[in-house]
Chains A and B, each alone.
Chain A
Amino acid sequence: MIELTNVTKTYAGGVTALAGVSLRVAAGELVAVTGPSGSGKSTMLHVLGTLDRPTSGGVRIAGYDVGALSDAGLSALRAHRIGFVFQQFHLAGGTTALDNVADGLLYTGLRPAERRRRAVRVLHRVGLGHRMEHRPHELSGGERQRVAVARAAAGDPPLLLADEPTGALDTASGARVVELLRELNEAGTTVVVITHERELAAELPRQVRLRDGRVEQDGAERDRAERDGVRA
């Protein structure tokens, strides 16, 4: 599903956010990305989500070589294959939960009626069937993030990327959101979650730890190390 090969990213100011990251994530995995602030987590997520192109290195997402795609191709990839969840929710104010979720499908080419139908279904799935006509300011933080997850999942994308989805939430609401991500993963979606909450990360099957733009530790490797009897 994801294949990063020696990816580097140097910003215009000269900051190297990614200094040679190689990472493979298979379809159906649930991966936590951890690391201190400034270690390049968000940058990596942007590259995975095709929101940004790497300075060098290869990126394959859902079978497509991202470097070979045009802007329209990347947009199409995001419309049909990738769902995003952000720390700040990024819901449209003054717009109902239902319309926010339906607008997640705005660029897929589905007709308005079908978009709403799917939005209703996915809102029920995240437990917000009773909040559909509420506007963001009438919802709690946890509910808002669940609306955002519903929006990302509405199109059934094979890949879902979440950047600190629990960062702005209390523990209970955060746990509910993580539970949702787990449910989506069980239903077949590949999920990559950035978080700096260690406990949360520890519960997920695989953890990738970044430091200074490099993969410092990969859960899959640690498992191997543990098998070999070496404590991390």
Chain B
Amino acid sequence: MRPAVDGIRPSRLWPGDVVRGGAVGLRTRPLRAVLSALGIAIGIAAMVAVVGISSSSRADLDRTLDSLGTNLLTVSPGRTMSGAEAKLPLRAEDMVARIGPVASVSAIGEVADTNVYRTARIPEAETGGLATYAVRTDLRATTGARLRAGTWLNAATARHPAVVLGATAAERLGVGRAAPEVRVLVGGEWFTVVGILRPAPLAPELDVAALVGWPAAQDRLGFDGHATTVYTRSADADVAAVRSVLGATANPAAPNEVEVSRPSDALAAKRAAGEAFTRLLLGVGAVALLVGGVGVANTMVISVLERRTEIGLRRALGATRGHVRTQFLAESLLLSALGGTAGALLGAAVTASYAASQGWPPVIPPWTLAGGLAATVTVGALAGLYPALHASRLPPTTALATP
């Protein structure tokens, strides 16, 4: 038994009745309730979807990095002191291969001034932004590039006018398959397309290029034999050590004229840039949530005005000010919880379908839902505070006065 108030058994309300009382507005004016909850639903949906999509994309990136490995390092020529383009020495590949922990080495060399066309009729100016690289036959193993169609270059085709197209290059040239009769013009000579690559995340330069064998490039396209990117893989634990000596090893004469990089870092950096954008979108979602909260507050104010009689009646039946306050707070919380739940479901659905369309694993971090719930409760409480206080302070007599 609760302590008596002034010697009388106090008024009391069961928790179940609090919920039922909070649902009165919802039951009697469902359309208005749904509309006012909609703002919150949109806000929460936006936030859940933004976090969900960015988490899914990150999960996809992690998956990609897992399968591609983060132990790939590249060496490229930088610039000389005078600002001219430097060149790697002809022996750069051999030197790099001699570094103890290095497990594999491969290279590509850009064939200067060599354009790629589908037919001879395309004017010279429209190069399509495609480069031509002389490639080693072991390039695929080191970079992790995979074939979409056809075959890779072998010792024999590396001497012939045979070409493998990067994913984007094939698309721009309108080449969908590899076959003996499918040919493209490389540096004015017809090359047979023997293979097409999938996008290579760790070596994106391959995507927009036509790849020909090293000897073929030297014999037919006037390639100078200098590598422009040397790729190397080493055991994960040794990557840092290899990295520290890579520049000096590749170009001992001018170690400051080389650029060493780790392509997986570039991917991670792209992800960091994405995160800044995510934060911006999250802010937009928060604004939507705030506007939703104002909508709920507005509905609650109107609800209190319209239900003065009900409030007066409840007071006559023994409701304390606290009971009235609780009822309207409960209503506000219920409205926003309704919006929040719908929003979370909607956000999850958007995440799932977008992730599916991108081939990503759908990921919604649990903290998003917890945060959404917390935001919903906070907004509901804030939106309901003033109307609930106002309702509880209505004198029972004015509330019951005949209109």
Closest chain-B Cβ to A66's Cβ sits at a distance in Å of: 10
Q: Bound state CA distance, A73 and B320, in angstroms?
A: 9
Contact B11 A72 (CB under 8 A): yes
Contact B397 A76 (CB under 8 A): no
- Known interface pairs A70-B5, A106-B17; A46-B397 also in contact (CB < 8 Å): yes
Q: Bound state CA distance, A80 and B317, in angstroms?
A: 9
The answer to whether B155 has its CB under 8 Å from any CB of chain A is no
- Known interface pairs A70-B5, A109-B11, A112-B14; A75-B400 also in contact (CB < 8 Å): no
Contact B315 A112 (CB under 8 A): no
Q: Which A residues from 143 to 192 make CB contacts under 8 A with B?
A: none
The answer to whether B66 has its CB under 8 Å from any CB of chain A is no
Contact B318 A80 (CB under 8 A): yes
Q: Bound state CA distance, A81 and B395, in angstroms?
A: 20
Nearest A residue to B398, CB-CB: A52
Interface-centre pick from A73, A88, A107, A111 (highest chain B CB count, 10 A): A107
The answer to whether B58 has its CB under 8 Å from any CB of chain A is no
A90 partner residues in chain B, CB cutoff 8 A:
309, 312-313, 400
Nearest B residue to A157, CB-CB: B318
The answer to whether A23 has its CB under 8 Å from any CB of chain B is no
Chain B 304-333, CB within 8 Å of chain A: the 1/0 string?
000001101111111111110000000000
Contact B321 A51 (CB under 8 A): no
The answer to whether A222 has its CB under 8 Å from any CB of chain B is no
Q: Which A residues from 70 to 96 make CB contacts under 8 A with B?
A: 70-73, 75-81, 84, 86-88, 90, 92-94
A79 partner residues in chain B, CB cutoff 8 A:
11, 317-319
Q: Which A residues from 94 to 122 make CB contacts under 8 A with B?
A: 94, 103-104, 106-109, 111-112
Contact B318 A73 (CB under 8 A): no
- Known interface pairs A51-B397, A52-B395, A103-B317; A108-B16 also in contact (CB < 8 Å): no
Contact B11 A107 (CB under 8 A): yes
Chain B 172-214, CB within 8 Å of chain A: the 1/0 string?
0000000000000000000000000000000000000000000
The answer to whether B270 has its CB under 8 Å from any CB of chain A is no
Q: Bound state CA distance, A72 and B8, in angstroms?
A: 10
Q: Bound state CA distance, A71 and B27, in angstroms?
A: 30
Closest chain-A Cβ to B313's Cβ sits at a distance in Å of: 5
- Set A68, A92, A93, A107: member contacting B319, Cβ < 8 A: A107
We find that the number of chain A residues with CB closer than 8 angstroms to chain B is 34
Q: Bound state CA distance, A92 and B27, in angstroms?
A: 12
B11 partner residues in chain A, CB cutoff 8 A:
72, 75-76, 78-80, 107-109
The answer to whether A49 has its CB under 8 Å from any CB of chain B is yes
B4 partner residues in chain A, CB cutoff 8 A:
76
Contact A87 B5 (CB under 8 A): no
Nearest A residue to B8, CB-CB: A76
Interface-centre pick from A73, A104, A106 (highest chain B CB count, 10 A): A106
- Set B5, B8, B12, B28: member contacting A107, Cβ < 8 A: B12
Contact A73 B6 (CB under 8 A): yes
Contact B10 A72 (CB under 8 A): yes
- Set A73, A78, A80, A81: member contacting B316, Cβ < 8 A: A78
Nearest A residue to B323, CB-CB: A107
B13 partner residues in chain A, CB cutoff 8 A:
106-107, 109
Interface-centre pick from A70, A88, A109 (highest chain B CB count, 10 A): A109
Q: Bound state CA distance, A63 and B396, in angstroms?
A: 22
Q: Which A residues from 54 to 78 make CB contacts under 8 A with B?
A: 64, 68-73, 75-78
Chain B 380-403, CB within 8 Å of chain A: the 1/0 string?
000000000000000111001010
B395 partner residues in chain A, CB cutoff 8 A:
51-52
Contact B5 A76 (CB under 8 A): yes
Q: Bound state CA distance, A51 and B7, in angstroms?
A: 19
- Set A86, A93, A109: member contacting B400, Cβ < 8 A: A86
Contact A51 B316 (CB under 8 A): yes
B16 partner residues in chain A, CB cutoff 8 A:
112
The answer to whether B121 has its CB under 8 Å from any CB of chain A is no
Contact B6 A76 (CB under 8 A): yes
Closest chain-A Cβ to B94's Cβ sits at a distance in Å of: 88
Chain B 12-36, CB within 8 Å of chain A: the 1/0 string?
1110110001001001100000000
Interface-centre pick from B5, B21, B323 (highest chain A CB count, 10 A): B5
Q: Add 20 more A-B contacts to A46-B397, A78-B318, A79-B11 (CB < 8 A).
A: A46-B396, A51-B316, A51-B397, A52-B396, A72-B10, A73-B6, A75-B315, A75-B318, A75-B321, A75-B323, A76-B11, A79-B319, A80-B9, A80-B11, A90-B312, A106-B17, A107-B318, A108-B318, A109-B9, A112-B16
A to B CB contacts below 8 Å, 10 in the list: A46-B397, A52-B396, A69-B8, A73-B5, A75-B318, A79-B319, A86-B400, A104-B317, A106-B17, A108-B12
Closest 7 CB pairs of A and B: A79-B318, A73-B6, A107-B318, A109-B12, A76-B8, A107-B11, A79-B11
